[in-house]
Amino acid sequence: MKLYILSKDKAYDCVACEIISLVTQYPDATLGLATGDTPIEIYKRMVEDHKQNHTSYQQIQTINLDEYVGLANDHPNSYRNYMHEHLFKHVDIDLEYTYFPSLESGFLKWMSQSIIHLQLLGIGNNGHIGFNEPGGSFESSVHEAVLTYETIQQNRKYFSSQVIMPKKAVTLGIKDIMKAQKIILVATGKHKASILKKMLEEPISNRLPASILKKHEHVTIYADFEAASLLDLSHSSYIKKEGFYEICN
Ligand code: PGA
């Protein structure tokens, strides 16, 4: 596992750069995408690059980590709508190949046959990845998840007072995420410092779903100075390399 500790802007630049180089090198790659506050600046950079350098998404397939149950695709709070607003409508992607988790057999078949080349992840304040909440199985595949109180509190801010926030979502499971060829987790801001420390410095446990990523062979974490501020970087599990840390468990 590699850990880069950078300024927030530099972290977003690097992640966007990694995605753009994958798309350039493999124009028909499958990208695993995330929603929330963290990826917004990354998508902005991808859109800028598309405008300036014409990086094409025409043959790219995308699969998002999760989608709320009970919201229409064009509902302002659906994750499809989020992706449309922040990325899809600004680039030349074919919307037919932009997938969101569902329990329909067509989707499950597509999922079983697909390889995610690069999975982008944020981390929830409770350690969730996608909507894989604490206590869930590491063996889970696509499933309907009941959101925890903490997740509802974290995400309520996106919903206007007139809209009842869904309490359930369909999410890729931990097993689906772990099958991705490469994973990038981004943690920025002071509010992510404590969960990032627990994820990296405590034993792997399903009480902290993101901790399982320590078992994946190709994970890169981009943290800003604030999110990394509580890490015990003098511990022997952090090996200092040129520009990053290799984390050994
Ligand atoms: P955030 O959410 O990017 O809004 O912090 C991350 C997550 O809950 O996975």
With 80 as the cut, is the pLDDT of residue 249 above it? no
CA distance 205 to 210: 9
CA distance 71 to 53: 35
Closest CA to 12 of 34, 45, 36, 55: 45
Which pLDDT belongs to residue 119? 98
Pocket of ligand 1 (CB under 6 A): 36-38, 122-124
**Residue 36 CA, ligand 1 centroid: distance in Å:** 5
SS3 call for 224: strand
The dihedral through the CA atoms of 124, 159, 98, 114 has a sign that is: positive
Q: Give 105-137 pLDDT, tens digit per residue.
A: 999 999 999 999 999 999 999 999 999 999 999
Reported as type and span, the H/E element at residue 245 is strand 245-247
Active-site annotation holds for 66: yes
Closest residue by Cα to atom 7, ligand 1, is 124
- pTM given for the model: 0.97
Amino acid at 123: I
